[in-house]
Amino acid sequence: MVQDLIRDSTLGQIINYVSGGRLLRYPEQRPEYVVPDRFLLPSAQRKPGDGPASDTATLYGEAPCEKAKTSASPPEKEIKRESSKSTMATLVADVESQQKVQGEDEVIPDPYLVDWDGDSDPDNPRNWSLRKRAFVAFEISLLTFSIYIGSVIYTSSIPGLMTEFNVSLTTATLGLTLYILAYGIGPMVLSPLQELPILGRNPVYMVTLLLFVILQIPIVTATNMRAVLTMRFMTGFFGSPALATGGASMGDIFPPSQLAYVLGIWAIGALSGPILGPVIGAFAAEAKGWRWPMMELLWITSFSVVFLSLFLPETYGPTILVRRAQRLRKLTGNAELRTAAEREQESQTVGSIMFESLARPILLAKEPVLAFANIFLGFVYAIFYLWFEAFPLVFNDIYHFSEGVSGLPFLGFFVSGAITYVVYCLYQKYHIAPRFARAAAQNTEFAPEIRLEIGLMASVFIPTSVLIFGFASRPSVHWIVPIIGAALYLPGIFLIFQSVLIYIASAYPAYAASALAGNDLFRSTIASVFPLFGRSFFEGLGLGPGSALLAGISVALMVVFWMLYKYGHVLRQRSKYAHSPR
């Protein structure tokens, strides 16, 4: 397993290419490999009675191998000409297997189609061993964590930045705002590159992560606030692919039956970044000054670059097949060998790709279903970041915690997060899975609105958490009470995100990538603004009244959430983009 991981990693790919395939070899690069007869040019195809090993050796200038095995020529494959879909759309189409996307053209035979060698092809990420898939899932979670922690670890540096550069709180907080805004904009440009079979996930992940690390250095050594703010925006931009497509990478390696569970683990890992950021950064800022939290971020991401460059393999199936086709074309001299993705991409223009990645997310955002989802998740996300400004008011000013200790209350989210994930798994296993099975047995479709049920129930936690946190934060009440109140926010944000995002992808399977990219952009834009006025908001209204206002808005949105659950199918029937069951 380790050798395959290294071979398929970014560093392994470079070594294989530079050595001309002599190091870290693939099966097609080994002397004993026998090319399936259907991939050979007519002039080189073997005749009945010829020895396959000797023929292959003669054709490619290799000595005959006594142990060479004859590969049975797999049955002729077929390629489907489909309308372009994103990876996330394909994943959800697998999960919602009973939903069928219209718009397929006729099936065209392709004798030179390079595809998986049967259902048990070991190069197919879905066929990797459980141990290998679990390790890769850990790597993807580490990548996501490394970027997400970069958002709020910065908050520990804000007091030091204000003092050293003599700037206001609002100006210093811009470093958080610009970072959040940038990782909402970044996926619009960078994530579509990961859908190109010629590139895949890893090149985009590793190049942008390396740039992320390099751009941390000007922040650590900055001599003015302008440099800090500029580099914070750039690091957020280049860190965005991990945040936007980490879930898609999970879907590359896990089957639909397990996808909901591993996406839950990935989401908890992503939330661990904002939770641990203040804990890690606060003690460093207290002891060493504002530059040290940024140094910690540099260390974490530098380790990730080295570790992932060595062990993170490519997970995007079309890219793995494209690389196989490239090796076979070089081996056989047959330039007609192509994968399904390559055939499909030949018909796409640069203009269509740009429209897909830039214009369509904006157009889809006008859909009533998506407009609500964007605003609702943006508000939930915004309160989460708004709290990073309220915590110092509560635990520093009211309970007189030191700067380092004031980050520890965030650990309460881990307790509620663990409980929430267990409940989520039980819900998937004992409620969703049986309904899927019944729908499949009756040959009916699973309505996407069912995905909203758990989010609707969990939305109660948002106003409850905000009210407890706001009104319990006073000297006469023990500090554990506002910590418990804050911890109750995580079940709400986690389950709402899971339900709404899966609902979006299920309701718009053919345009899921565009819909999710638009959602990411809008919610990050909304959330990026809130920290700018967070402290003055709570100081002006008071913690109790300010929390009551936020809770009231949350309750109002719950009503709209219920209406979406109840009447979402009507809106989908009127949409030309959404999938409507027949």
Q: Which domains does the chain have, with CATH numbers?
A: 1-29 (no CATH), 128-315 (1.20.1250.20), 348-582 (1.20.1250.20)
CA nearest to 504, candidates 9, 1, 81, 96: 96
H helix runs in 392-460, sequence order = 412-427, 433-441, 453-458
Element (H, E) at 28: none
Residue 80 in 3-state DSSP? strand
DSSP conformational letter for 540: H
One-letter amino acid identity for 256? P
Per-residue pLDDT of the chain (582 residues; tens, 9 = 90+): 788 899 999 999 999 999 988 999 998 889 888 888 778 877 666 565 555 443 443 344 343 333 333 343 444 433 333 333 344 444 444 444 434 444 444 555 677 888 898 888 899 999 999 999 999 999 999 999 999 999 889 999 999 999 999 999 999 999 999 999 998 888 888 877 887 888 889 999 999 999 999 999 999 999 999 999 999 999 999 999 888 788 888 888 988 778 888 888 888 888 888 888 888 898 899 889 999 999 999 999 999 999 999 999 999 999 999 999 999 998 888 888 888 888 877 766 656 666 666 777 777 878 888 888 888 888 888 888 787 778 888 988 899 988 788 888 888 888 898 899 999 999 988 988 888 888 878 887 778 888 899 999 999 999 999 999 999 999 999 999 999 999 999 999 999 988 988 888 788 877 777 787 788 888 888 888 888 888 888 888 899 999 999 899 889 888 888 988 888 888 888 887 786 654
Tokens representing 371 are 């407009």
Give how far Cα 102 sits from Cα of 234, 240, 343, Å: 40, 32, 20
CA nearest to 123, candidates 229, 244, 28: 28
- The answer for residues whose C-beta is within 8 angstroms of residue 301's C-beta and 6 or more apart is 146, 147, 150, 209, 212, 213, 216
Q: What is the pTM of this model?
A: 0.82
Q: Give the angle 295-298-304 at the CA atoms, nearest 5°.
A: 145
Element (H, E) at 78: strand 78-80
Buried b (16+ CB within 10 A) or exposed e, 123-162: bbbbbbeeebbebbbebbbbbbbbbbbbbbbbbbbbbbbb
Give how far Cα 473 sits from Cα of 416, 486, 543, Å: 19, 11, 7
Residue 73 in 3-state DSSP? coil
User: What's the Rg (C-alpha) of the chain?
Assistant: 26
Residues 126 and 317: their CA atoms lie apart, in Å, by 9
CA nearest to 456, candidates 564, 313, 327, 302: 564
